[in-house]
Amino acid sequence: MVDIHEDSQNKTKIAELLQYHSTKSDDKMTSLKDYVMRMNEGHNYIYYITCESKKVVENSSFLKKLKKKGYEVLYMVNAIDEYVVGQMKKFEGNKFVPVTKKGLKLDEREDEKQKN
């Protein structure tokens, strides 16, 4: 695993090398750059879920709502993944958000609706 937390000068370059399985990548892995390119309008966050294996995470009840809305979720199945995301915070201006977060809001437009 690359040391993204130790090389802040090259954090962006290193982040471009990271790859994960996702709800839309089938058996292939996807890069963060490809994930961002596939984001729908109004999809302003990089959603992820952590678990011990891809097989277990694919059946998580946390994914149901996001899949229904067409949002892609990254599967982070390595112990270091959550730490790395915590160090990066954002990729190309998009904040990382765990789908297991209590009170998860799916996009900024929903945030605005709730304020009004």
**pLDDT tens readout for residues 8-32:** 667 778 888 899 999 998 889 999 9
CATH number of the domain enclosing 99: 3.40.50.11260
How far CA 79 is from CA of 26, 55, 76, in Å, comes to: 21, 16, 8
Residues 6 or more apart whose Cβ sits within 8 Å of residue 73:
22, 23, 47, 48, 49, 63, 66, 67, 99
Q: Pick the residue with more confidence: 60 or 2?
A: 60
Which pTM does this prediction carry? 0.82
CB atoms within 10 A of CB 18: 21
Q: Is residue 53 part of a domain?
A: yes
Whether residue 5 has pLDDT greater than 90:
no
Confidence (pLDDT) at 96? 93
Q: How long, in residues, is the chain?
A: 116
Per residue in 36-72, pLDDT tens?
999 988 788 999 999 888 888 888 888 988 888 889 9
Contacts of 104 by beta carbon, 8 Å cutoff, 6+ apart: 97
Structural domain boundaries, residue 48: 8-115
Asked whether residue 26 is domain-assigned, the answer is: yes
2 domain residue, yes or no: no
What total number of domains does the chain contain?
1
